[in-house]
Amino acid sequence: MRRSRIKSDDECSVGSGALIVYIAMILLATIISFTVINITEKISQKSEQVAEDVRRDSVNSVIITGAWVYDNQDDMLFMMEFGAAGEPVDRVDVQYVLTCTEPDGTFHHRSAALGDSQGGSPIYVWELGTDSPVNNPGFVNVDNFQPGARYFFTLDGGTQTNAGGPAGECGPPHMDTHGISSHLYLHIPHGPSTHQILTLSNGQEIGSQII
């Protein structure tokens, strides 16, 4: 009878060691692959977040470049400029907030879509270089703001609950009487908000600056 040859224990140990090394290499490759994929995903997510932040900070932006006393009541005139790297913005999507605090701590505020007076004096909005509402019975507010363009808009003093009140809170007479400043905020979609402190430069004189 032919006898089968039995391999030595040394050869078995070598084979077992090679198998262990092979399995270890597979596990190591798996761990490395998982780490690389995880890092890649995090970098991708971070890049998307940064890109979104940059887009929001640069695509739609607006700054207030000037402000003046508009009439002998409580109206103010503002000039604003939209960022060049943006998208058209509907006027009704731009929200304004006007606030002020009297020396005794009394707080007043008013907010609405730009062009909405909420019962106060009419609010006018027009592009720089076009006909203003003065002596213009057929005047119509701009409905769409274009990137890189500049616009005028008026704003009436008053509160959220009493927009047409005689006190004209946060307007030039009210600021002058109490020796205070007002704050104007503009909020636009897909972009940062703008904050402007309003301070009288020459009392209630029409045409005097308030920033």
CA-based nearest residue to 177, from 152, 154, 157: 157
Residue 100 CB contacts under 8 Å (≥ 6 apart), including other chains: 107, 108, 109, 169, 170, 174, 175, 180, 181, 182, 183
Angle, CA 126 vertex, CA 196 and CA 101 arms, to 5°: 25
Locate tokens 């890092």: which residue? Answer: 39
pLDDT of residue 79: 97
Question: Which long-range contacts does 175-179 make (Cβ < 8 Å, 24+ apart)?
Answer: 175/100, 175/199, 175/200, 175/210, 176/200, 176/203, 176/204, 178/102, 178/103, 179/103
Give me the mean pLDDT over the 149-160 stretch: 92
**Percent of the chain scoring above 70 in pLDDT:** 86
Residue 166 has pLDDT above 70, yes or no: yes
Rounded to whole angstroms, the Cα distance separating 187 from 195 reads: 9
Residue 2 has pLDDT above 60, yes or no: no
Per the CB < 8 A criterion, the answer to whether 156 and 117 are in contact is: yes
Residue 8 has pLDDT above 60, yes or no: no
Report which of residues 175 and 120 the model is more confident about: 175
Give me the mean pLDDT over the 82-108 stretch: 93
The predicted-structure confidence for 120-142, as pLDDT tens digits, reads as follows: 788 899 999 999 998 898 899 99
